[in-house]
Homo-oligomer: A and B are copies of this chain.
Amino acid sequence: MNLKELSNILNLSQTTVSRALNGYPEVGEKTRIRVIEAARKYNYHPSYSAKRLAMGKSHAVAHVVPQSPKHSMINPHFSDFIAGAGETYAKFGFEMLISVVPYDEQEKCYRELARSKRVDGVIVHGPYKEDPRIELLKSLELPFVVHGRTEEGCKDFSWLDVNNRSSFKRATNFLLDLGHERIALLNGIEEMDFAYRRRLGYEAAITGRGLPIDPTLIFSSDMIEPYGYDVTKRLLKMKDAPTAIVTSSVLTALGVVRAVQECGLQIGRDLSVVTFDDELSFLQYPGVPLFTSVRSSIMDAGRRLAEILLEQIDNPDKGLVQELWETDLVVGQSTGPRRI
- A residues contacting B by CB (< 8 A) are 45, 47-50, 52-53, 56, 58, 65, 67, 72, 74-76, 78-80, 82-83, 86-87, 89-90, 95-101, 112, 115-118, 222, 224-226, 251, 254, 257-258, 261-262, 264, 281-286
> Chain B nearest CB: distance from A321 CB in Å?
22
Cβ A82 vs Cβ B76 within 8 A: no
Consensus secondary structure, chain A interface: helix
Minimal beta-carbon separation of A39 from chain B (angstroms): 14
A and B contact pairs by CB, cutoff 8 A, 7 listed: A78-B79, A86-B100, A96-B100, A225-B254, A225-B282, A226-B283, A254-B258
Chain A to chain B: the 3 pairs with minimum beta-carbon distance, closest first: A86-B100, A261-B261, A79-B79
**Which B residues lie within 8 Å of A80 (CB)?**
74
- Candidate in A53, A79, A117 with the most chain B CB atoms within 10 angstroms: A79
Specify which chain B residues have a CB less than 8 angstroms from the CB of A76 in the assembled complex.
75-76, 79, 282
Q: Which residues of B contact A118 (CB under 8 A)?
A: 48-49, 95
CB contact between A282 and one of B83, B99, B224 (< 8 Å): that residue? B224
Residues from chain B with a CB closer than 8 A to the CB of A86 are 65, 67, 74, 98-100
Query: Which chain B positions have C-beta within 8 A of A56?
Result: 49
| A53 CB contact (under 8 Å) in B47, B96, B98, B224 | B47
Knowing A53-B50, A116-B47, A118-B48, the reply to whether A285 touches B96 (Cβ < 8 A) is: no
| Residues in chain B near residue A90, CB distance under 8 A | 99-101
For A222, list chain B residues within 8 Å (CB).
282
Contact (Cβ within 8 A) A67 B87: yes
Of chain B, the residue at the smallest CB distance from A249 is B282
A51 to B99, CA, bound (A): 20
Which residues in B have their C-beta under 8 angstroms from that of A281? Answer: 72, 74-75
CB contact under 8 A between A58 and B53, given known A257-B258, A261-B261, A285-B226:
no
Whether B89 lies near A251 (C-beta < 8 A) is no
